[in-house]
Homo-oligomer: A and B are copies of this chain.
Amino acid sequence: MTDDEANKNRLHNEAMKALKAERDELMRTKTERRGLLIVHTGDGKGKSTAAFGMVVRALGWGQRIGIVQFIKGKWKTGERNFFTKFPDLVRYEVMGEGFTWETQDRARDIAAAAAAWATAKEMIADPELEFVLLDELNIALRYEYIDIADVVAALKARPLDKHICITGRNARPALIEIADLVTEMTLVKHPFQQGMKVQRGVDF
């Protein structure tokens, strides 16, 4: 090892030691444990996908899960193929009728959303389920298929130890306000754009 390299290593190691002390001090103050209300929103990809990743983690710790899909219809998806293999651990309900531009029927969309929300409330109350995923609920709220005040009330009244994750773009401000953890997925680059000119604000 050269002197320069050894010096670089020494400086790095000292900096990391200081960082570790700082982090330990920070973590010491974070002692509260309770179920979190988590929202994944934004125009980028990864909102539902990250929620499925959380389901995997929860399953890895032996937790039981409830999933309601508010928009996705009966077509096959990889996540559905996979999670429905574990019926004892995952209650998986696909209750949408497809995207709004597929159904082209507002009355039917509203009826489907109401039924999905009834199931969601059941899961939120079910003491057997430790994690509940309400996939694309934000879409149903955005189109006012479900009343935001009802949703906020049910979420606030949830059992204290229950984790709930809600996905979909255009999360309503009232939901963000009561959430514990909100992540926005932002599109930086998408394969659809290829062949198009690279644009500031989109591609870099």
Interface residues, chain A, with chain B CB atoms under 8 Å away:
1, 8-9, 12-13, 16-17, 19-20, 23, 30, 36, 39-42, 44-46, 48-61, 77-83, 100-107, 173, 176, 179-192, 194, 204
Contacts and interface: CB of A to CB of B under 8 A. Distances in A.
Given A16-B101, A57-B49, A176-B188, A44 B183 contact: yes
Nearest to A1: B107
A78 B57 contact: yes
B44 A56 contact: no
A201 to B, nearest CB: 12
A191 B56 CA distance: 21
B107 A79 contact: no
Nearest to A184: B186
Contacts of A78: 56-61
A107 B3 CA distance: 13
Contacts of A61: 78, 81
Nearest to A6: B107
A153 B159 CA distance: 51
Contacts of A103: 16
A104 B20 contact: yes
27 contacts: A16-B101, A16-B103, A16-B104, A19-B101, A30-B192, A41-B188, A44-B183, A46-B50, A46-B185, A48-B53, A49-B53, A49-B54, A50-B50, A51-B53, A52-B52, A53-B53, A53-B55, A56-B79, A56-B82, A57-B82, A60-B77, A60-B82, A61-B78, A179-B189, A181-B189, A181-B191, A182-B187
Contacts of A192: 30
A176 B189 contact: yes
Contacts of A184: 44, 185-186, 188
